């Protein structure tokens, strides 16, 4: 997707919703993400992280506050400026750069962890973007990916029944009619993913370990998991058709991939 330097209405809508969110509001989510990632890769002051699609900038700002090196890239100049302003309020100059994952130079063998949370649905050439992330990761580097799930009954992208099930052109027509033409410049979901589709591509790209959402839950390592949770996980892992059914209708796709 092209870098957007002009102001667009979808970013204004996004900031109306997210602009009231504080770092304190995100603190628990941040701790959860970092605790989770640390099970796959040591996260300390020497680790280098990259976030693709920084949004309001809370993740790189909280990384800096906690002594963790994190670079961010974001395609919207409005959001880059907003994220930097969030940092300044807390005495931090976050490393957030204007750019897109298809074209911005993110180097090779540079990062220990790359995070892309609810981003790749907006990336037109998503295969190229993931290939660049693979090359940018160090050996044993971790890629944490979440995005849309086509057959989910509800969608975080747009409040419309079975939204992800619609053909692309129907979704585009719906969104442009209700939100204006510039939704196609920034904000539209070009991609409604499926778990098998992503798993195949991650494997083809060269990731040696690929954990889907069920695998991730199974390795979550809760100290005292409730018996019913253990039972559900055991059933999902032990009965492949049930696992596939769960993944098909889950709200989002999610993967941890290790280079």
What DSSP character marks residue 76? B
pLDDT at 83: 97
pLDDT at 219: 56
pLDDT at 19: 86
pLDDT at 224: 61
- Give the pair of three-digit tokens for residue 39: 């099970």
Helices (H), 56-191: 58-65, 77-89, 126-136, 168-179
pLDDT at 186: 87
Question: Which position has the token pair 């040696």?
Answer: 208
Phi/psi region, residue 239 (left: phi>0; alpha: psi -120 to 50; beta: rest), is: beta
Q: What is the enclosing helix (H) or strand (E) of 114?
A: strand 111-117
Q: How far is CA 204 from CA 87, 185, 198, 209, 214, in A?
A: 38, 30, 10, 12, 21
Question: Which position has the token pair 């005292």?
Answer: 224
Measured in whole angstroms, the distance separating CA 141 from the mean position of its chain's CA atoms is 16
- State how far the Cα of 137 lies from the Cα of 154, in Å rounded to an integer: 33
Q: In what order do the strands lie in the sheet with 111-117?
A: 95-98, 69-74, 48-52, 111-117, 137-148, 252-258, 209-211
Phi/psi region, residue 118 (left: phi>0; alpha: psi -120 to 50; beta: rest), is: left
Q: How far is CA 184 from CA 168, 214, 246, in A?
A: 12, 33, 31
Domain ranges in the chain are 9-258
Strand partners, 253: 147
pTM to 2 decimal places: 0.94
Q: pLDDT truncated to tens, each residue of the chain (259 aa)?
A: 789 988 888 888 889 989 899 999 999 999 989 988 999 999 999 999 999 999 999 999 999 999 999 999 999 999 999 999 999 999 999 999 999 999 999 999 999 999 999 999 999 999 999 999 999 999 999 999 999 999 999 999 999 999 999 999 999 999 999 999 989 988 899 999 999 999 999 999 999 999 999 988 765 555 566 787 778 888 888 899 999 999 999 999 999 999 9
Supply the CATH classification number for the domain 9-258: 3.40.50.150
Q: What is the enclosing helix (H) or strand (E) of 240?
A: helix 240-249
Those residues with Cβ within 8 angstroms of residue 230's Cβ, 6 or more apart along the chain or in another chain = none
């Amino acid at each position: 997707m092209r870098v957007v330097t002009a102001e667009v209405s979808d970013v204004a809508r996004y900031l109306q919703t997210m602009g009231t969110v504080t770092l304190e509001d995100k603190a628990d989510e941040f701790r959860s993400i970092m605790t989770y990632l640390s099970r796959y890769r040591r996260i300390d002051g020497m680790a280098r992280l990259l976030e693709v699609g920084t949004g309001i900038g809370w993740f790189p700002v909280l990384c800096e506050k906690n002594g963790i090196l994190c670079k961010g890239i974001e395609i919207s100049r409005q959001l880059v400026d907003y994220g930097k302003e969030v940092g300044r309020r807390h005495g931090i100059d976050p490393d957030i750069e204007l750019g897109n994952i298809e074209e911005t130079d993110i180097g090779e063998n540079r990062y220990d962890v790359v995070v892309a949370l609810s981003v790749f649905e907006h990336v037109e050439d998503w295969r190229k973007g993931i290939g660049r992330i693979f090359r940018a990761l160090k050996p044993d580097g971790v890629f944490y990916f979440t995005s849309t799930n086509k057959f989910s009954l509800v969608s975080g992208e747009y409040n419309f029944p079975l939204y992800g099930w619609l053909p692309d052109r129907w979704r585009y027509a719906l969104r442009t009619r209700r939100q204006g033409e510039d939704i196609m410049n920034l904000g539209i979901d070009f991609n409604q993913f499926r778990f098998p589709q992503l798993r195949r591509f991650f494997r083809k790209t060269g990731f040696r370990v690929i954990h889907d959402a069920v695998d991730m839950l199974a390795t979550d390592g809760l100290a005292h998991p409730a018996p019913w949770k253990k039972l559900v996980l055991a059933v999902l892992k032990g009965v492949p058709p049930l696992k596939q059914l769960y993944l098909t209708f889950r709200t989002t796709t999610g993967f941890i991939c290790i280079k």
